Amino acid sequence: MELTAFIIKAIIILVIFGLTLLIAMYSTYGERKVAGFIQDRLGPDRAGPWGLLQPLADAGKMFFKEDFIPAQANKWLFIAGPCLAMLTALMASAVIPFGSTLRYDGIEVAVQGVEANIGILYIFGVVSLGVYGIMVGGWASNNKFSLLGAIRAASQNISYEVAMGLSIVAILMMSESLSVGSIVAQQHGGNWNIWYQPLGFIIFLTCAFAECNRTPFDLPECETELVGGYHTEYSSMKLGFYLFAEYINMFISSAVVSALYFGGYNYPGMDWVYTQLTAAFGDIAGHNVATLLGTAVFFGKALFGVFFFMWVRWTLPRFRYDQLMNLGWKGLIPLAILNILITGIGVLFIQPSLTAFLK
Amino acid sequence: MNPTLSFFYFLSFLTILSAIMVVVSRSPIHSVLYLILTFFCLSGHYILLNAQFLAAVNIIVYAGAIMVLFLFVIMFLNMKEEEEKFRGNVTKIAAAIVGGTIFIILFGAYRKTQVGTYNPYEFKSQTGMVESLGMVLFRDYLLPFELASVLFLIAMVGAVMLGKREIGERHF
């Protein structure tokens, strides 16, 4: 019994891991296609049908390029930089609930790597560690431009983490739980958090853009000022890992946004679908099909999030660095504190009086 | 040996090793990175004690925020040229005296203290969970908690006041 549960869990974790990598890989293709569509051109279309093999061609190119380490660089830390970036990017998906439960042989297994009662703090901690990959790599390159790019990335991430944490606090006050699993379970049906937390959602989304170093906040990479930013000295697959980590981060933050604000695997009318499916396929198979449907909905939301990241990148101009810092410290943090106050008033006074009124 | 115990020994070994490396390593950047590793090992100890909230907060606050700022400052200092300054004999002797004195004080203090007897069968596994921690903090220790947060606020405002530029100073 223990062993089957373990095997199912292992399969779920491996599938989530593989899907994360696959989605990150095809995000590079999607990015260029979206860019092509927005700029009224075709995008990649040479490798395979509709250019579908383009990510493989890119990976082949990355692997066969010369792997160069500058003579004055700190060799170990130079290698550790991209490793840390990939590690921290992949670690966050462990606590995200990608679906409800799967039933097999009388066991119920959640479609989630680990159900931790501090899940959201774990995600927050891993996100705050993401800085190290960039800083270590940028410093070890022994190049002024890399160092400046790394410092920019790090200060940006630290600044926006504060507002991000404060916007999460409002969610925690409503859901009274730190576990991502129960936060998602509370948004059953169409009862999503975004209806209650529109301001918090906007703050969180802005901070997610800044944490991923994406346009309009992609100042760590700036050709005109910094050559290439923190990965100026990197070549071959080490550079590939840095770029790849960015796409993984994009997918993970979209997944977190959809879990916290868009109900995760919940969708309107899911109870009706559930009863129809259990009536059609029987209790166990129907439950599993409903769960897989929820997981598909989750991935749909997360992929729309990734598309949104790209959409913004190719339509909005970027900020200047002082504007970015002003927005973070003077705009988002006071707004997030205001949001916490409003949420507190809502939870303490408005919600009880509303429920009393409706009764 | 049961797996938890062997894991505990492995983690303790790693903690002490990385703590020693913080002191021994020559490059300050390496020191900081070993210190981060030490914090991770300590978080591992918290998890072994079933204090998950403390483990996560330790990572977020120390490894995620404070050590990033340390790394920040040290990267800007460009220590390579100044390295020689720290290795004079006078510095070494002074450091040895200070460290030795602290060691003697700690040794003298801990030699007489009674370590409370500990019964593993009475260990409550839920003590370190975030729910019970919140109950204790906001019910039994509400006033000290609020006072500590006011203290933090004062420190923060003070730091901003000290770091602020005076009016009329040049902005670059």
- pTM of this structure: 0.85
Query: Looking at the domain assignment, is residue A225 inside a domain?
Result: yes
Going by C-alpha positions, the residue among A320, A328, A337 that lies closest to residue A155 is: A328
Whether residue B135 sits in one domain with residue B71: no
Query: Looking at the domain assignment, is residue A26 inside a domain?
Result: no
Query: Looking at the domain assignment, is residue A10 inside a domain?
Result: no
DSSP B19: H
Chain B residue nearest residue A144, CA to CA: B76
Query: Looking at the domain assignment, is residue A186 inside a domain?
Result: yes
Query: Looking at the domain assignment, is residue B8 inside a domain?
Result: yes
Overall domain count for chain A: 1
CB contact under 8 Å between A125 and B64, yes or no, is yes
Query: Looking at the domain assignment, is residue B3 inside a domain?
Result: yes
Residues of B with CB under 8 A from a CB of A: 29, 33, 36, 52-53, 55-57, 59-60, 63-65, 68-69, 71-72, 75-76, 129-131
Catalogue the E-assigned strands of A38-130: 101-104, 107-110
Chosen domain end from B81, B114, B146: B81
CB contact under 8 Å between B59 and A139, yes or no, is no
Whether residue B135 sits in one domain with residue B72: no
Find chain B residues with C-beta within 8 A of A136's C-beta.
Answer: 33
For residue B33, give the CATH number of its domain. Answer: 1.20.120.1200
Q: How many CA atoms lie within 13 A of A343 on its CB side?
A: 26
Whether residue B145 sits in one domain with residue B75: no
Query: Looking at the domain assignment, is residue B100 inside a domain?
Result: no
Q: What ipTM does the predicted assembly reach?
A: 0.80
Query: Looking at the domain assignment, is residue B12 inside a domain?
Result: yes
CA distance between the termini of chain B:
63
Query: Looking at the domain assignment, is residue A16 inside a domain?
Result: no
Six-digit token string for B47: 């998890």
Query: Looking at the domain assignment, is residue B92 inside a domain?
Result: no
Distance CA A176, CA A192 (A): 15
Looking at CA atoms only, how far is residue A341 from chain B in angstroms?
17
CB contact under 8 Å between A132 and B68, yes or no, is yes
Whether residue B76 sits in one domain with residue B133: no
pLDDT in tens, chain A (359 residues): 578 778 888 888 888 888 888 888 888 888 888 888 888 888 888 887 888 888 888 888 888 888 888 887 788 888 888 888 888 888 888 888 888 877 777 777 777 777 778 888 888 888 888 888 888 888 888 888 888 888 888 888 888 888 888 998 988 888 888 888 888 888 887 788 888 888 889 999 998 888 887 778 777 776 666 777 777 888 888 888 888 888 888 899 999 999 888 888 888 888 888 888 888 888 788 888 888 888 888 889 999 999 998 888 888 888 888 888 888 888 889 999 999 999 888 888 887 788 888 77
Six-digit token string for A259: 């879990």
Query: Residue A222: which domain range?
Result: 67-358
Query: Looking at the domain assignment, is residue A53 inside a domain?
Result: no
Going by C-alpha positions, the residue among A90, A199, A137 that lies closest to residue A207 is: A199
Overall domain count for chain B: 2
Chain B residue nearest residue A161, CA to CA: B65
Query: Looking at the domain assignment, is residue B60 inside a domain?
Result: yes
Distance CA A229, CA A77 (A): 17
Query: Looking at the domain assignment, is residue A60 inside a domain?
Result: no
Query: Looking at the domain assignment, is residue A45 inside a domain?
Result: no
Chain B residue nearest residue A134, CA to CA: B68
Query: Residue B47: which domain range?
Result: 1-81
CB contact under 8 Å between A178 and B71, yes or no, is no
Interior/surface letters A149-179, b for 16+ CB within 10 angstroms, e for the rest: bbbbbbbbbbbbbbbbbbbbbbbbbbbebbb
CA distance between the termini of chain A:
46
Chain A residue nearest residue B73, CA to CA: A151
Whether residue B4 sits in one domain with residue B77: yes
Find chain A residues with C-beta within 8 A of B163's C-beta.
Answer: none
Looking at CA atoms only, how far is residue A4 from chain B in angstroms?
22
Looking at CA atoms only, how far is residue B83 from chain A in angstroms?
16
CB contact under 8 Å between A158 and B75, yes or no, is no
Q: How many CA atoms lie within 13 A of B10 on its CB side?
A: 9
